[in-house]
């Protein structure tokens, strides 16, 4: 019998730590990785304590919920216009409910889901994560890279100036 290794959940999962072989659990589909492959314990604890970060597929569903408001799986699937199958959308939304990304109203026959967090909160969380991981916390580096990667319109530049002026006014 092979020795079982201790595995920690991925930061996005926030699930209970348990001994496993490292494959996705049938109940949740959440992938677990060996503890040796995970960042230091403090980083994992911090990520688990905060709101979970959505995957690309989950972000697509969240965009639908932010736009439409509370919706059934069928409505989300129809809005995604055949990008993915109905059962895939259903399973993703069930996982998202377990992760705390969406809330499910089970009062009606067709469960109605709504985004748990505002779009701005999720965007701020994802940008903060990108800022730390890719730019070492340098907002200047991130903005300079953004501006050099695509041309900004005159309106966008004016809006950036206005936001910087407003930011400086709050700091003073």
Cα gap 110→55, rounded to integer Å: 25
Q: Could you give the number of structural domains in the chain?
A: 2
Phi, psi dihedral angles at 137 (to 5 degrees): 85, 5
Question: Which residue range forms the structural domain that includes residue 31?
Answer: 6-49
pLDDT in tens, 11-56: 333 333 333 333 433 433 333 333 333 333 233 223 334 789 999 9
Burial class (CB in 10 A: 0-12, 13-18, 19+), 149: exposed
Residue 153 has a pLDDT of: 92
Cα gap 50→164, rounded to integer Å: 28
63 within a domain of the structure (yes/no): no
76 within a domain of the structure (yes/no): no
pLDDT at 1 over 70: no
Q: What is the pTM of this model?
A: 0.65
163 within a domain of the structure (yes/no): yes
The two tokens of residue 80 are 């995604």
55 within a domain of the structure (yes/no): no
In 14-138, which residue ranges form alpha helices assigned H by DSSP?
A: 41-49, 56-68, 73-79, 86-99, 119-135
108 within a domain of the structure (yes/no): no
Determine the Cα angle at 166 with ends 160 and 170, to 5°: 140
pLDDT in tens, 133-172: 999 999 999 999 998 999 999 999 999 999 999 999 998 7
């Amino acid at each position: 019998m092979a020795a079982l290794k201790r595995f920690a959940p991925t930061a996005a999962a926030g699930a209970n730590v348990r001994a496993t072989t490292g494959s996705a659990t049938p109940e949740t589909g959440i992938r677990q990785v060996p503890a040796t492959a995970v960042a230091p314990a403090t980083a994992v604890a911090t990520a688990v304590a905060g709101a979970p970060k959505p995957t690309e597929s989950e972000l697509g569903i969240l965009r639908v919920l932010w736009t439409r408001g509370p919706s059934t799986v069928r409505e989300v699937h129809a809005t995604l216009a055949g990008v993915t199958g109905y059962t895939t959308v259903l399973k993703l939304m069930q996982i998202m409910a377990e992760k705390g990304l969406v809330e499910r109203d089970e009062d009606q026959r067709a469960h109605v889901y709504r985004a748990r967090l505002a779009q701005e909160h999720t965007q701020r969380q994802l940008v903060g994560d990108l800022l730390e991981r890719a730019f070492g916390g340098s907002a200047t580096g991130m903005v300079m890279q953004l501006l050099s990667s695509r041309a900004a319109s005159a309106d966008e530049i004016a809006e950036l100036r206005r936001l910087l002026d407003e930011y400086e006014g709050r700091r003073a």
